[in-house]
A and B are shown apart, each in its own frame.
Chain A
Amino acid sequence: MNILVCISSVPDTTAKITFKDDNTTFNKDGVTHIIGPYDDYALARAIELKEELGGTVTVLNVGTAETEPQIRKALAIGADEAIRVDAEPTDSFFVAEQIAAVAKENSYDLIMMGRETTDYNSGVVHGIVGQLLGMPSLSPVMELNIDGNTAKISREIEGGKEKLEATLPLILGCQEPIAEWKIASMRGIMTARKKPLNVRPAVGEGLTSVSSYSLPPEKGDCKMIPAEEAEKLIDLLQNEAKVL
């Protein structure tokens, strides 16, 4: 079982989002970056599958040298080798093209990633990769087991889930509870330093670009209603907020 896990490097979920250079650039000052939380689930399940079935886990990141701490962390958690495509991941199609280019040179049984990144939230990279490679793509996947050449999957749908069986190779966009996030052990961190990380140039170019950013308006004050008079809330929701 050879698995390619695609990881994004995103601001920590508690990071304050601000912009600089006249609101044209995300302000990275003081912001910690992490492996995309959904990608982290995909990575955790990939490592479990490797432990169960053998094979290798390769992590792939499209990013600048700044993302290497997240790549090393993925290696420390248990991935065997890493590839970094040296480019800013600014566009979904562009990122998908890089993944497809790497995948075409190797043969992976599974290509796993998060259902979406938590910075741009588009949730389309897995599908574009599937189309470019002529392989089925499924998302959001919340359970994954492998039986020979068949993947047994459950996919979240609105209000429930769907059970599927699919033939490998496959592209999957993953989410919880596919696995629990893994923490690197001390030994993992030590060995990660020696694992191969290959850097390669990007192909093609993006189809979209961001010209400026803005922040949502500040929330007004919260109107407090005493618990003894809780029923008044319903009146306010109906006549003041007009949402009932």
Chain B
Amino acid sequence: MKMGREGDVVVTHALGSCLGLMIYDPSIKVGGMLHAMLPMAKINPQKAEANPYMFVDTGVVRLFKEIYRLGGKKSRLVVKAAGCASPIGKDEMFKIGKRNYTVLKKLLWKNNVLLDAEAVGGTVSRTVHFHISTGQILIKSGQHQEFSL
């Protein structure tokens, strides 16, 4: 997880099936990004203790806590998601990206938070540039044109 203030650009590379969650408070220009690999911390409690940001369920909660600590207000937050890709085929075992997304949606739903935008799924591996001064989020993957989320 990385937090940023005005002037910062928060970057994460090659999300793959990982979830990238970006939250932003435009009135105080503070934002943060989570890069979580797996849906649930219970798969490896030891790792979760050392690095809760590796998991969607524990990481998302911390991301929100952190932005509140920096002065963010829930009513003002802009929340966007990226990543959660999967390889080709129907094998559910490899749909970790889909499971990451499902856990995110459940968590947000429980807490009455809506996603303002998302670039999720497919087979592309996304790189995210999050400009904290403007709140702009740029997404690039493979040979595709970069776009603003």
Do A and B come from the same complex? no
Q: A residues near B, CB below 8 A? A: none
Q: B residues near A, CB below 8 A? A: none
